[in-house]
Amino acid sequence: MNRKNKKQNRSKGFTPFEIARPKGPSGAPARARFQTGFTLVELLVVIAVIGLLASVMLVSLNSARINARDSRRIADINQLYKALEFYYDDNQGLMPECDDVGYTGGCDLLDFGSPGSRIDSSLDGQFVPFLAPYLNGQNLKDPLNTYSPYHFYLYSPNSVFPPGSGNKYIFLLLTFLENINHPALKNCIDLAGFPFPGACLIGDRQP
C-alpha cells in the first residue's frame, strides 16, 4: 500500500493486515486436508448391528400383534358368553341353536344362511342374530377372519365333544389362539381329547 492509503486507513481507525498462508510445492497456498471415513470392516459391523436390531424389533412387533389379537378373541368370547347368559334368562332357559356341517349342535359367526332355530335342525346359520339386542350392534368376529371363527356349541351333558345330535343342555364358546402358550388358556375349559392346540373354550351352562 502507498503512504496515502495508509494515512486514510489510520484516520478511519482501521489497520489492514495480511495473513500469511503456507505454500505448497508449486508455490500456491496449500489447503488443509482432512481424511475421514469408515473402514470396510467398520461398515460391515455397523450393517450387522442394524440388521440384528431390525430383526429383534420385527419379532417383538409380531409377537405384540399376536398377543393383541388373542386378547381381542378372549374379550369377544367373554362378551358373547355374557350375551348368551342374558338370552338364557330372557327366554325361559332356552339357548339359541344352529347346526354346522360336520358338527351337529355347533355353529359359527361366518356361516351363511338362515339363523338356526332352538330345536335340533340341519340348518347352517349364525347364532349372533339372536344375541343382537345384547351386543349393542357390535359385529364380533375373529381379528384375522380366516380359518378360525368363533364357535358356539350346545350339547348333551353325557355326550362327547364334538357334540352329537339329541337333547342339548350345555353351551360352550370356542376360539383358537395363535399363541398356544398364552396364559389365558389356563382359564379356559380343558376338554380331554380336544385335538387342536390353542383352543379356548368358555362357558358351561346346564339348565
Question: Which residues make beta-bridge pairs with 174?
Answer: 151, 201
173 class by beta-carbon count within 10 Å (0-12 exposed, 13-18 middle, 19+ buried): buried
Question: What per-residue confidence (pLDDT) applies to 111?
Answer: 35
With cell 347368559, the residue in question is 85
Let me know if residue 126 belongs to a domain.
yes
Distance (Å, rounded) from C-alpha 46 to C-alpha 48? 5
Let me know if residue 2 belongs to a domain.
no
Let me know if residue 119 belongs to a domain.
yes
What is the torsional sign of CA 204, 165, 185, 134?
negative
- For residues 7, 8, 12 and 17, what is the CA-based torsion angle, rounded to 10 degrees? -70
Let me know if residue 21 belongs to a domain.
no
Structural domain boundaries enclosing 86:
42-202
Per-residue pLDDT of the chain (207 residues; tens, 9 = 90+): 555 555 554 555 555 555 555 565 665 555 555 556 678 887 888 888 888 888 777 777 888 888 888 888 888 888 888 888 888 788 777 777 655 554 444 555 433 333 333 333 333 346 666 788 888 877 777 787 655 567 666 655 554 444 444 444 556 677 778 887 877 776 665 544 454 566 666 655 544
One-letter amino acid identity for 89?
D
Let me know if residue 195 belongs to a domain.
yes
Map 45-107 to HEC letters: HHHHHHHHHHHHHHHHHHHHHHHHHHHHHHHHHHHHHHHHHHHHHHCCCCCCCCCECCECCEE
- Residues in CB range of 105: below 8 A, 6 or more apart: 97, 99, 120, 153, 154, 155, 162, 163, 164, 165, 168
For 171-189, give the DSSP string: EEEEEE-S-TT-GGGGGSB
Question: Which residues make beta-bridge pairs with 200?
Answer: 175
Let me know if residue 35 belongs to a domain.
no
Question: What per-residue confidence (pLDDT) applies to 162?
Answer: 46
Count of domains for the chain: 1
Let me know if residue 7 belongs to a domain.
no
Q: Decide: 131 and 70 in contact? Cβ < 8 Å.
A: no
Let me know if residue 181 belongs to a domain.
yes
